[in-house]
């Protein structure tokens, strides 16, 4: 149970920073940990996942503001992926993402009770422009992000003071012919209150050893590079994607 809850916290922390630029943004749920440990660098699978499911719930004012603030980041990345131009500014986006309590509960599959409320995370997403261009243009290429620092607050149900959690991660994604085929998150240092830290330590340690979340990252990357970028292009042109 400790590993599962810790993995859920870790997945929410990672997903908040990646989902705004790698997957559908309309209230999609965080990735679900696999029921059994997967081997490292597992190739993508074609089946659908919660990452690409559309959510028709009405967003809160905070969620709407967060989404608007992320639009420019999506446009920048989609433009680099489409043009494959390595010349220009690198990607540097300040991101805020709120995960609702019910989304995290869904991630746990109803088998484990999520003991807190919503999670709100913040970070600066930094990606080298040349890496994105080469990932799309070269036969094989690995994008290795610099360590990304994520700060999250977990709402307590019996207190107005949330738990503060900080995690470092350095994701790697391997591409072949413009498609992601392998990925790993590579969790680093974490800090959290005494009651939460053991859960995070167990969950991130499990993923570092077994790469449970790697296949989800592959799906997120490929979904963004195709469907989500088509939506961004259609929005800019005022048309609907096919």
* 41-85 pLDDT, tens digit each: 444 444 434 433 445 778 888 888 888 878 888 899 999 999 999
* Cut 0.85: pTM above it: no
Domain coordinates of the chain in residue numbers?
A: 2-237
The DSSP output letter for 224 is I
Residue scoring higher pLDDT (56 or 145): 145
Strands 91-99 and 119-127: antiparallel
Model pLDDT for residues 81-117, shown as the tens digit of each residue: 999 999 999 999 888 888 888 887 776 666 567 778 8
**CB–CB of 4/34 below 8 Å?**
no
């Amino acid at each position: 149970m400790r590993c599962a809850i810790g993995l859920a916290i870790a997945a929410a922390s990672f997903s908040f920073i990646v989902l705004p630029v790698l997957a559908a943004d309309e209230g999609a749920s965080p990735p679900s940990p696999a029921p059994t440990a997967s081997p490292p660098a597992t190739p993508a699978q074609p089946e659908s996942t919660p990452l690409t499911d559309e959510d028709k719930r009405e967003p809160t004012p905070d969620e709407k503001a967060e989404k608007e603030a992320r639009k420019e980041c999506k446009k920048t990345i989609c433009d680099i992926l489409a043009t494959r131009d390595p010349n220009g500014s690198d990607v540097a986006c300040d991101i805020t993402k709120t995960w609702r309590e019910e989304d995290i509960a869904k991630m746990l599959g109803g088998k484990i009770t999520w003991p807190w409320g919503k999670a709100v995370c913040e970070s600066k997403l930094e990606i080298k422009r040349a890496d994105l261009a080469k990932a799309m243009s070269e036969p094989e290429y690995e994008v290795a992000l610099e360590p990304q620092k994520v700060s999250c607050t977990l709402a307590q149900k019996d207190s107005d003071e949330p738990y503060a959690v900080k995690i470092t991660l350095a994701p790697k994604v391997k591409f072949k012919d413009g498609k992601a085929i392998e990925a790993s998150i590579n969790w680093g240092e974490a800090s959290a209150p005494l009651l939460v830290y053991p859960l995070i330590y167990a969950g991130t340690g499990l993923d570092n050893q077994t790469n449970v979340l790697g296949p989800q990252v592959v799906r997120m990357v490929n979904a963004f590079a195709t469907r989500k970028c088509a939506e961004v292009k259609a929005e800019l042109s005022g048309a609907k994607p096919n």
